[in-house]
Amino acid sequence: MIEIIRNIFHRKIYFNNLCSLSRNFSMMTTFADKDYNSAAYSSYRPNYSEKLFNKIYDYHSKNSGNYNNALDIATGTGQIAHILSSKFSNVYATDISETMLSNAHRGSNINYSISTAEDLSQFPSSKFDMLSVGQSAHWFRLQEFFEEANRVLVPNGTLAIFGYTFHVIKGYNEISEMLLKFSIEEEIGKYWDERRIIINDLYRSIVLPEQFKNVEIIRNEIINGGEISGEIFMEENWSIYQMANYMKTWSSYKDYMAKNKDIQQDPVDKLMNKIELAIGLKPGQKLHIIWPMVLILATKKG
């Protein structure tokens, strides 16, 4: 399985084709579009696990330990901000999309505002004990973002960057191959923004600047048999219907549908029918869905 993924992710022809197709539109613009279904995004995206945040909090306590103010960048519908709000006294969360923020999780200690990751001028220097970025660092102008992150973090404050790539179904190797090929190469797979390859490669191309120390990186990747190496930080038991709705939140799906209005059958529904037949799914049967993830932790130098 891992060789299949590497062949897909790193073949030069795939990357060149992806870049040439994607220069015509922007993933971030898709999420910011007023007609983007942010309610579906909030409902159908997978949940970040308690295990993942325990890992982040353990690191944070070891290196800083203060839980006063946290900042979540590109918060979307506030999934991460909501989790942080149970640990930090105050959580601030930003996004470029008013549409996404309109469906964000609310909380008495969560403060939402609109801004880019590269311009945090609304916040004073040395304000935040933790800055988190979930499933979005690959869309940033990283040099500018890191400069701002360094400015707004307190000395020894924690920077937590994490993300996940395409899912597989635990125990179903051939079906997982089918999913990956569909997601990356076939039909909607050709409609990803070129920056998507950065998270596909689990942020190996991201290099933290010298202003950060104590860097720890955890990656779990797909291995044979629809399994994930190491500790699993993101998993769900989903029906085929839930998996389909999740895939329909993808920006590549939205762009595909916008550019192929005359198709006879929805490509995600078509794929789900194939999977249903191949597995022989029974009514109400759940599938164990798992995601490869990367977690990058660092502290600002004092």
pLDDT in tens for each of the 302 residues of the chain? Answer: 444 444 544 443 333 333 333 333 344 445 555 554 556 656 788 999 999 999 999 999 999 789 999 999 999 999 999 999 999 999 999 999 999 999 899 999 999 999 999 999 999 999 999 999 999 999 999 999 999 999 999 999 999 999 999 999 999 999 999 999 999 988 898 899 999 999 999 999 999 999 999 999 999 998 865 788 889 999 999 999 999 999 999 999 999 999 999 999 999 999 999 999 999 999 999 999 999 999 999 999 98
Number of domains comprising the chain: 1
CA distance 227 to 123: 42
Residue from 216, 214, 218, 217 nearest 301 by CA: 214
Please tell me the predicted confidence (pLDDT) of residue 20: 36
Dihedral angle, C-alpha 92, 79, 218, 227, nearest 10 ° = 180
Contact 51, 78 (CB under 8 A): no
Query: Is 157 strand, coil or helix?
Result: strand
For residue 23, the domain's CATH number is 3.40.50.150
Full residue range of the structural domain in which residue 158 is found = 2-300
Q: Say what the pLDDT of residue 11 is.
A: 40
**288 touches 169 (CB < 8 A):** yes
